[in-house]
Amino acid sequence: MFLIAGLGNPGDKYSLTRHNVGFLVIDEIAKRLITTSNINNSNFKAIVIKAPNTLLVKPQTFMNLSGESILPIADYYNIPNENIIVIHDDLDLKFGSVKFKIGGGHGGHNGLRSIDANIDKDYIRVRIGIGKPEDKKDVANYVLNNFSKDELNQLNDIISHVIGAIDAIKKEPLEKVKSTFTIK
């Protein structure tokens, strides 16, 4: 079983923000699946959608506490970290870049910091580049602002690419996925 978590913030006002790109990927995966069912368990603090051999997760704890959602789900379903895939925005990558890694630092991303504190660092990360604000002091506003029109036009292709990569991660070694699906 795989746990695929898209990071973001709950609520309509955040739905198209850069910080919610993980939620957008989960929503698109769920749309494409033939059979799914929602799992209702208040201990999970998440929207959890069960699909064949996969749990799709959208933490509802707000970004900075994402680990408090992922840990109880992984524990309940006995999912090892190597089968946990976290999709998140990355300021250090230009918009549209897609990279993959296991472990490493959180790079100041509070959602990853929370996950690292709760389950450790050895899970798969799908990093989607959102670019940086011109003023480095404006990071919070930048990630919580909506994508531009131009970015939204490109986002469907990026999300489709990421979904293909996630399908490959479930079947192939990460190194092969990196060589096939990385976008710089």
Sorted by where each begins, the domain ranges of the chain are 2-181
Residue 26 tokens, joined: 């989960």
Task: Cite the active site residues.
Answer: 19
Query: What whole-number distance in Å separates Cα of residue 94 and Cα of residue 89?
Result: 11
Cα 71 to chain centroid, rounded: 15
Fold designation for 2-181: Rossmann fold (3.40.50)
The secondary element (H helix, E strand) that includes residue 55 is: strand 54-59
Q: Which residues contact 138 (CB under 8 A, 6 or more apart)?
A: none
Per-residue pLDDT of the chain (184 residues; tens, 9 = 90+): 999 999 999 999 999 999 999 999 999 999 998 777 899 999 999 999 999 999 999 999 999 999 999 999 999 999 999 999 999 999 999 999 999 999 999 988 999 999 999 999 999 999 999 999 988 888 999 999 999 999 999 999 999 999 999 999 999 999 999 999 999 9
134 three-state secondary structure: coil
